[in-house]
Amino acid sequence: MSEGATTTANGTAKRKKSAPRRATAETMAKKQREISVSEFFAKNRHMLGFDNPRKALLTTIKEAVDNSLDACEEAGILPEIWVHVEQTGESRYKAAIQDNGPGILKKQIPLIFGKLLYGSKFHRLRMSRGQQGIGISAAGMYAILTTGKPIKIVSKTGARKPAHYYELRIDTKVNKPEILNGKGDGEDIPPGEKGEQYIADHGIEWVTHHDPEKPDAKPKPLVSGTRVTLDLEAKYQRGKGSVDEYLEQTAIANPHVTLHYIDPSGHQKTYRRSTDILPPEATEIKPHPYGVELGRLVSMCKESTESSLSGFLTTSFSRVSSGIAKQICDKAKLSTRMRVKRIDRDHAEHLYAAIQDTKISNPTTDCIVPIGEEQLLKGLHSVVPAEFYAAATRPPAVYRGNPFQIEVALAYGGNVETQKITKDLLKELLYETDARTVRQFLILTFNGLGPDAADKIIKQSKVGTRKSPNKLKPKEIDHLFEAMQNVNVNEGQSMQVYRYANRVPLQFQHGDCAITKTIAQTNWRSYGLSQSRGNLPSGPVTIMVHIASVWVPFTNQAKEAVASYDEIQKEMRLALQTVGRKLGMFLRRRMKVKQQADRRSIFRRYLGEVAQAVSDINGTDKEDIYEKLLEVAKKKTAEADMVLDESGKAVDPTQADYGGGVLIVDKDDDEMLADMLNRPAEADAPATTKPKDGQGELFDDDEADDED
């Protein structure tokens, strides 16, 4: 019998199973190979924000719009951007984004759109929307992976210069672009009528003229710009985290941009710029010594071309003068003339410790450009209807040697989104939603609508909490729409939070973001809002928080949430408290006005009856008594309206010192009527008594208007 075999009970031979052969060092070495960054992200696209079709569409448009805004601002051009989303098949969409920027040089186009981690912003310490050079090329990679169709780019750098047209894809094995048209060199489209005919014949999409801002104005031709078109697997859905919401929030933080948007249904919406002033250009700075870690310091010493240690410190870092450099060298016990190339790891460790022990001024702050209180108020007012707006911009601060600045704006009042939509739009939203129940649909679709408000609407509509949105009958949709329009949901609203980093809206991972955490940790009860412990406050409030920095500390490559640094959260808390105090002043003043209005209504209600009763008792003339009582009432209400300042002088009660950064909007007749319809009925309120014949109102029309 051969070795490795056994005999069974009936005498037949049975061979043993051999153990699996273990790999040797040589066989394992043969399996090792280098992977490119694009190959890595192709398999881990969720890290870049492409983890589901709906989010992929938003991320694609976001990256393209951010690049367009950066390019326009850097070239000193007021941005105008066209966004077009078109459905081309089931779960297939075409996204096209065009700008009026300076255009891109021909040789740079394939590298910018077809190579990951290629850009000019990673090593540049100044405020910009993009940071990693990975966004738009990652969007193109996702589009090619899901549909196989190439990225299409048209870019024009001048009126008399040709436009460059490329169709390309990314070779993920080597992280390089592969040009598919023009025999691997792209195509040049001549300027003028010949070029327009070429574009039409080849079906190339390109906006040739600016939209006129006035109906009778003549459209201006587009001198330069860039358009990128991507076909991708995606899902379009309105509501929270949608393309529509992103563009609306972008218009708030960028009041100098004009946005033209066509959604998959063909609806067009334009966000006109509210200011013609471009933000100041941010200045590039050198790294601050406090923000450089030991390993990076060693690398900088090896890369430096300076001969002396003192020269290295003064030229490589910001805020390091020759005097500061000498202090650092003395504490590190190193000579200022020491050759940089001779610095080893031990020297670098002493140098690093000396830097941390030396008092160095904070970096300059001209590298960041805040939106500003005035522009914050304009942007928020142009998109969010409300009656009170407040804004606050904190002084610049530093985390890990990186300058940053926090801004906060707040809007109070106005109707929620459930009262703004049409019945047709509601039907579309119900058809598009992935929500399992009507309650979930209301909470997830409409910003600021909390669970309590959703329950009120469902109870009024009698639809049922477990009813599926897609299975609602026409009559049930009618009842739901009627309830959404008529139910008072002000008390059930939750605060609507807009988060921004370098003017870019952040729409996902709310709970992991330092902005959301800091808002929830702020005590809003002291400012007149209701709030459960550890949660966002309730009420018709919209708040936006903006962090501007040379390097925003995002929690991941998808740039969806800000990390929780103590310095950043402290500045956020102080800014939130500033706008909170202004809101508290407004709410207290409004409450006082309401109390006075109730008081006057009581006078108005019973003054005629008192005059009649006194006349019946002692026979005094009723009209005379009424006039005297009216005079006393006017005097008493005037005293009640009187407000004294710190010096004891009377001030105008309609004016309040909010300390700047405030916008108060008077309501028009339609808004006043909507408030009256939404106001819950007071069953215990006494009925209004009209004055009898010969009795006038306590206040005439002019006085009533003044009070309003």
The full DSSP string for 155-220 is EE-STTSPEEEEEEEEETTTTEEEE-SGGGT-EEEPSSHHHHHHHHHTT-----BPPPSSTTSPPP
Report how far residue 580's alpha carbon sits from residue 103's, in angstroms, rounded to the nearest whole number. 44
| Whole-number percent of the chain with pLDDT over 70 | 76
Q: Determine the residue type at 22.
A: R
Range with the poorest average pLDDT among 124-133, 162-171, 292-301 = 124-133
> What confidence score (pLDDT) does residue 691 get?
40
Distance separating alpha carbons of residues 462 and 419, to the nearest angstrom: 18
CA dihedral of residues 34, 37, 39, 44 (deg, nearest 10): 120
The per-residue pLDDT for 96 is 94
Q: How far from 375 is each of 403, 549, 625, 693, CA to CA, in Å? A: 21, 18, 56, 54
- The pLDDT assigned to 82 comes to 95
**Above 60 in pLDDT, residue 65?**
yes
Per-residue confidence (pLDDT) for residue 578, from 0 to 100: 93
pLDDT band at 580 (very low <50, low <70, confident <90, very high): very high
What mean pLDDT comes out for the span 304-326?
89
Look at residue 645 in the predicted model and tell me its pLDDT.
42
**Candidate from 269-278, 298-307, 491-500, 574-583 with smallest mean pLDDT:** 491-500
Nearest to 96 by CA among 270, 252, 260: 260
Q: What number of CA atoms fall less than 13 Å from residue 291's CA on the CB side?
A: 22
Flag the least confident range among 85-94, 233-242, 320-329. Answer: 233-242
* Higher-scoring residue by pLDDT: 615, 79: 79
- Give the alpha-carbon dihedral of 399, 404, 410, 416, to 10 degrees: -90
Q: Who contacts 256 (Cβ-Cβ below 8 Å, separation ≥6)?
A: 78, 79, 273, 275, 276, 277, 278, 279
Higher confidence at residue 172 or residue 310? 310
Within 13 Å, how many C-alpha atoms sit on residue 29's CB side?
3
Q: Over the stretch 525-571, which tens digit does the pLDDT of each residue have?
A: 888 888 888 788 888 888 999 999 888 888 877 778 899 999 999 99
Neighbours of 182 (CB within 10 A): 13
**How confident is the model at residue 637, as a pLDDT?**
60
118 pLDDT band, cuts 50/70/90, is low
Q: What is the pLDDT of residues 481-522, one digit of tens each?
A: 887 777 665 555 678 888 998 888 888 888 889 999 999 999
Say whether pLDDT at 473 is over 80: yes
Rounded Cα gap, residues 521 and 613, in angstroms: 58
CB–CB of 106/189 below 8 Å? Answer: no
Q: Determine the pLDDT at residue 103.
A: 92
Q: What percent of the chain has pLDDT over 90?
A: 17
Instruction: Please state the three-class secondary structure of 352-397 as a single string.
Output: HHHHHHCCCCCCCCCCCCCCCHHHHHHHHHHHCCCCEEEEEECCCE
Structure tokens at 311: 């020269």
- Least confidently predicted of 39-48, 75-84, 362-371: 39-48
| Residue 506, phi then psi, degrees to nearest 5 | -110, 120
Residue 309 CA to residue 313 CA, distance in Å, equals 6
Query: What pLDDT, in 10s, does the model give residues 178-234?
Result: 889 888 888 999 988 888 888 888 888 898 888 877 777 788 888 999 999 999 988
CA 189 – CA 206 distance, rounded (Å): 12
The pLDDT of 269-276, averaged and rounded, is 88
The predicted structure's pLDDT at residue 409: 93
Per-residue pLDDT, 414? 66
The two structure tokens encoding residue 502: 């370098």
Q: What pLDDT was estimated at residue 262?
A: 93
**Separation between Cα atoms, residue 553 and residue 547, nearest integer Å:** 10
> Which tokens go with 510?
């709310």
Residue scoring higher pLDDT (110 or 134): 110
Backbone angles phi and psi of 127, in degrees to 5: -65, 130
Separation of alpha carbons 95 and 264, rounded Å: 10
Evaluate whether 138 touches 45 at the Cβ level (below 8 Å): yes
| C-alpha distances in Å from residue 379, one per residue of 218, 255, 373, 395 | 27, 5, 10, 21
The confidence band for 573, taking pLDDT boundaries of 50, 70 and 90, is: very high
By CB neighbour count within 10 A (0-12 exposed, 13-18 middle, 19+ buried), where does 425 fall?
middle
| Residue 175 amino acid letter | N
* 3-state helix/strand/coil string of 605-667: HHHHHHHHHHHHHHCCCHHHHHHHHHHHHHHHHHHHHCEECCCCCEECCCCCCCCCCEEECCC
Q: Rounding to the nearest 10 degrees, give the CA dihedral for residues 306, 310, 315, 316.
A: 90
H-helix or E-strand spanning residue 600: helix 566-618
Could you give the CA distance from residue 53 to residue 428 in angstroms, rounded to a whole number?
19
CA angle 452, 456, 462 (to 5 degrees): 140
Mean pLDDT of the chain: 78
Q: Produce one character per residue of 314-337: b if its CB has 16 or more CB atoms within 10 Å, e if not.
A: bebbbbbeeebbebbbebbebebe
- Nearest-angstrom CA–CA distance, 53 and 145: 13
What confidence tens digit (pLDDT) does each residue in 670-704 have?
444 344 334 443 333 444 333 444 333 333 333 33
Query: Other CB atoms closer than 10 Å to residue 136's CB: what's the count?
Result: 27
Which tens digits make up the pLDDT trace of 239-258? 777 888 889 889 888 888 99
- pLDDT at 92 (0 to 100): 92
Backbone phi, psi, residue 357, to 5° = -90, -5
Range 290-319 average pLDDT: 86
Predicted model pTM: 0.69
